[in-house]
Amino acid sequence: MKATLLTLAALCALILSGCTTPVAIDPMTGEDQVAEYRAGYFYAPLDASIGHVFKTAIRELDNMGYFRTGELHRKTEITIYARKVGDQPVSLRATQMEDGRSQVRIRVGRLGNLAESQNIFARVRDAL
């Protein structure tokens, strides 16, 4: 019984960590820019520094009604922690890439929420 449960847990972990879904960022403009939704996290590039992304993201999260609970500043990344109605965790991490752009990683809830992550990203991107 234990072997079956361990095998099932390993299989589920493999499936969740290996699934990547390409997501069109802005199909209306015809841009080739594509994001990824991988294991509950939404990844997308932005043409701005992490400092500018941080300032814009906290303003937009506040405007969307999220309750910010903390921030973690590191040399090449900044993470914003928040909560939404229903006490679901929200995290937004901006990582500085070598070319001066930023990589944004967003997760809403414990298992992820693609639609809400896209909404947060669109609001931040439009505000930049």
Contacts (Cβ under 8 Å, ≥6 apart) of 48: 56, 101, 102, 128
pLDDT of residue 80: 94
What domain count does the chain have?
1
**Is pLDDT above 90 for 35?**
no
For the record, the structure tokens of 66 come out as 């999220």
The verdict on residue 31 lying in a domain is: yes
pLDDT of residue 112: 87
CATH code, 93: 3.30.310.80
pLDDT in tens, 4-24: 777 777 665 555 555 655 555
The verdict on residue 11 lying in a domain is: no
pTM score of the predicted model: 0.76
Total count of residues recorded for the chain: 128
**Is pLDDT above 70 for 33?**
no
pLDDT in tens, 44-94: 998 888 889 999 999 999 999 999 999 999 989 999 999 988 889 999 999
Q: How far apart are CA 36 and CA 64, in angstroms?
A: 23
Domain, as residue range, for 77: 21-127
The verdict on residue 95 lying in a domain is: yes
